[in-house]
Amino acid sequence: MIRQLPIRQRIRKGIVLVSFLSFPLTMNFLSPYVIVDGAAHGIINGSLIMFGLMFLSALVLGRAWCGWVCPGAGMQEILEPVNIRPVSKNVDWIKWAIWIPWVTLIAWLAMRAGGYSRVDFLYLTETGVSVDAPVKYIIYYGVVLIFVGLAAFAGRRAGCHTICWMAPFMMIGRWIRNRFGWASLRLVADSSACSDCKLCNKHCSMSLNVSAMALAGNMENAECILCGACVDHCAKKVIRYSFSGSK
């Protein structure tokens, strides 16, 4: 028997699937290359603006972008029927090993260009469509193949854990949020209601030990993307969304 997904999870999966299908339009605004090229020419471009917005969104919405909007989510979640194996948390550092030199390069190029001197949201996307030339098709299929391949062979959302250049912007944002403890979107758990059935672990998009988090009454985890699968699959209603500050 095929178990039906909770309605909220069906909506979420529908949104990230549409986002993935729209990726030929949006790719350049999430590109690790366009921001580098823009820095070298002193141009604030679509990617820089989008990554800045991701950082700002994390100050109030945590990593909800990752759970609810990102095309990378859609392209990996469609592989879940093929490989739902959890990804080890031992590989989470890899994205930082990519992100730190990349951001350093962007800062260095921008300084060499004498700083940012103009804003062009459509920089390198003059037609408004990201994939509009043969070479861009190659880049598009390359990016999709890497994410899909990782999800298929390494496990659930393996690309999010390892190679994503966007996640650290949001992780830094939610870290700052937690330092100040201001009100924002997060998960809270009533540990006394938890039966330790571990169903939430099975459904967690990021392969987290959610039952341990719920039992400890601490749902804060830098890899949590607020997808809500643990909220929606828990029969005991232990976990819920909350817009609140941290203690």
Binding region for ligand SF4 (CB under 6 A): 66, 70, 72-73, 159-160, 164, 166-167, 187, 194-200, 204-206, 208, 210-211, 214, 224-230, 234, 236, 238-239
Closest CB to ligand SF4 among 48 and 66?
66
Shortest Cβ 74–ligand SF4 spacing (Å): 9
Closest CB to ligand SF4 among 39 and 166?
166
Shortest Cβ 192–ligand SF4 spacing (Å): 11
Closest CB to ligand SF4 among 41 and 202?
202
Percentages helix, strand, coil for the chain (3-state, rounded to 5) are 55, 5, 35
Helices (H), 197-241: 199-203, 210-216, 229-233
**Partners of 119 in beta bridges:** 44
Among 232, 224, 226, 231, CA closest to 89: 224
d(CA 89, CA 34): 30
Shortest Cβ 132–ligand SF4 spacing (Å): 23
Shortest Cβ 66–ligand SF4 spacing (Å): 3
For strands 43-45 and 239-244, give the pairing: unpaired
Closest CB to ligand SF4 among 82 and 111?
82
Closest CB to ligand SF4 among 35 and 194?
194
Among 47, 63, 41, CA closest to 109: 41
d(CA 65, CA 55): 10
Dihedral angle of Cα 128, 134, 135, 139, to the nearest 10 degrees: 80
Closest CB to ligand SF4 among 131 and 187?
187
Closest CB to ligand SF4 among 59 and 113?
59
Shortest Cβ 48–ligand SF4 spacing (Å): 15
Name the residue number minimizing CB distance to ligand SF4.
72
For residue 11, with 0-12 CB atoms within 10 Å meaning exposed, 13-18 middle and 19 or more buried, which class applies?
exposed
Shortest Cβ 127–ligand SF4 spacing (Å): 24
Shortest Cβ 128–ligand SF4 spacing (Å): 22
- Both tokens of residue 238? 């232990």
